[in-house]
């Protein structure tokens, strides 16, 4: 089974890929046939703006968590060193993952399933939440 | 009601007029089916190509690769030739490519 970091990187890369595809479509459309550009589609427009804000704030969030981690002095624990900042790290990165999940899968299910997308998105999102909690617990225990 | 004949179109504009004509008389089905066929050929070709060369294959990789190829063709067709493709078909192809990409990335151990 994939690790916490693999799922995190996968979701971010999937979001980045979707962002790049939309950007490519928008730029090609604007350069050739602006009235037929895919940005006129409301789903594309909405997904593009959400992905833009998510991806641009990721670096700031990661930098904040890195600073918190570096400021903290490790505490001796049984058999290992203890960092409490890893809890905050898990919470923030977990919410980033969920946010990226909602944008990318929301777009995919909305386009492919139409009006029935919401139950599917929430059901599969529920599975991700359970997996995420288990992964965060594992992250707190073993780092 | 009889459908429009190809002779009514100005073929001297280029070869793309023939495709636009075929798309118009089929109510937009022609190019959507074309994209679907490109997707299926790329997906099956990649999958069985992997199997033949490496002995094993990952369907998620073939699906993602075919989705990306279809999206690029769809984007280029909607952005360069008026009337050949429409935006909903491109949005669907981008969604399929994203789904394939997610499967491929989450499938990797």
What ipTM does this complex have? 0.83
**What's the CA dihedral at A105, A107, A109, A110 to 10 degrees?**
150
Instruction: Mention every residue, 6+ apart, whose C-beta is less than 8 A from residue B8.
Output: none
Q: How confident is the model at residue B62 (pLDDT cuts 50, 70, 90)?
A: very high
Report the pLDDT value the prediction gives residue A78, as an integer from 0 to 100.
Answer: 64
DSSP state for residue B81 in the 8-state scheme:
S
Report the pLDDT value the prediction gives residue A77, as an integer from 0 to 100.
Answer: 65
> What does the alpha-carbon distance between residue A27 and residue B75 come to, in Å, rounded to a whole number?
10
Across the interface, whether the CB atoms of A38 and B87 are under 8 A apart is answered: yes
Report the pLDDT value the prediction gives residue A80, as an integer from 0 to 100.
Answer: 65
Q: pLDDT tens, B15-46?
A: 889 999 999 898 889 999 999 999 999 999 99
Nearest to A104 among B96, B98, B108 (CB): B98
Kindly report the average pLDDT of chain A as a whole number.
81
> What does the alpha-carbon distance between residue B76 and residue B94 come to, in Å, rounded to a whole number?
12
Report the pLDDT value the prediction gives residue A41, as an integer from 0 to 100.
Answer: 85
DSSP state for residue B82 in the 8-state scheme:
T
Report the pLDDT value the prediction gives residue B74, as an integer from 0 to 100.
Answer: 92
Report the pLDDT value the prediction gives residue B59, as an integer from 0 to 100.
Answer: 93
Report the pLDDT value the prediction gives residue B32, as an integer from 0 to 100.
Answer: 93
pLDDT at B106 over 90: no
pLDDT at B79 over 60: yes
User: Who wins on pLDDT, A78 or B80?
Assistant: B80
Q: How confident is the model at residue A117 (pLDDT cuts 50, 70, 90)?
A: confident
Q: Tell me how close the Cα of A82 comes to any Cα of chain B, in angstroms.
A: 28
pLDDT at A43 over 60: yes
**If we measure between CA atoms, which residue out of B64, B56, B98, B77 comes closest to residue A107?**
B98
Report the pLDDT value the prediction gives residue B12, as an integer from 0 to 100.
Answer: 87
Report the pLDDT value the prediction gives residue A133, as an integer from 0 to 100.
Answer: 82
Across the interface, whether the CB atoms of B98 and A21 are under 8 A apart is answered: yes
> What mean pLDDT do residues B63-91 have?
90
Kindly report the average pLDDT of chain B as a whole number.
89
Q: Tell me how close the Cα of A11 comes to any Cα of chain B, in angstroms.
A: 7
> What does the alpha-carbon distance between residue A47 and residue A14 come to, in Å, rounded to a whole number?
13
* Cβ neighbours of B76 in A, within 8 Å: 28
Report the pLDDT value the prediction gives residue A79, as an integer from 0 to 100.
Answer: 64
Give A2: exposed, middle or buried? Use CB within 10 Å, 0-12, 13-18, 19+: middle
Report the pLDDT value the prediction gives residue B45, as an integer from 0 to 100.
Answer: 96
Report the pLDDT value the prediction gives residue B6, as an integer from 0 to 100.
Answer: 82
Alpha carbon separation from B102 to A6, A45, B56, B93 (Å, rounded)? 12, 21, 21, 14
Which residues of chain B from 84 to 103 reach within 8 Å of chain A, CB to CB? 87-88, 90-92, 94-99, 101-102
Report the pLDDT value the prediction gives residue A132, as an integer from 0 to 100.
Answer: 80
């Amino acid at each position: 089974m994939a690790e916490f970091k693999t799922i995190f990187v996968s979701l971010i890369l999937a979001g980045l890929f979707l962002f790049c595809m939309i950007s490519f479509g928008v730029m090609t459309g604007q350069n050739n046939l602006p009235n037929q550009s895919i940005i006129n589609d409301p789903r594309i427009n909405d997904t593009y703006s959400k992905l833009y804000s998510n991806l641009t704030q990721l670096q700031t969030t990661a930098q904040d968590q890195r600073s918190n981690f570096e400021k903290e002095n490790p505490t001796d624990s049984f058999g290992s060193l203890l960092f409490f900042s890893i809890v905050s790290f898990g919470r923030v990165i977990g919410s980033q993952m969920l946010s990226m999940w909602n944008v990318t899968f929301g777009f995919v299910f909305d386009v492919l399933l139409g009006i029935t997308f919401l139950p599917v998105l929430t059901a599969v999102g529920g599975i991700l939440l359970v997996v995420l909690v288990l992964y965060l617990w594992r992250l707190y225990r073993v780092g | 009601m009889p459908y429009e004949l190809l002779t009514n179109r100005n073929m001297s504009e280029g070869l793309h007029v023939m495709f636009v004509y075929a798309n118009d008389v089929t109510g937009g089905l022609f190019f959507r089916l074309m994209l679907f066929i490109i997707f299926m050929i790329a997906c099956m070709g990649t999958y069985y190509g992997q199997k033949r060369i490496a002995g094993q294959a990952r369907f998620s990789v073939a699906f993602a690769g075919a989705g990306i190829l279809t999206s690029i063709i769809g984007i280029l067709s909607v952005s360069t030739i008026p009337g050949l493709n429409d935006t909903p078909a491109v949005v669907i192809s981008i969604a399929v490519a994203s789904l394939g990409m997610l499967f491929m990335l989450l499938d990797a151990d």
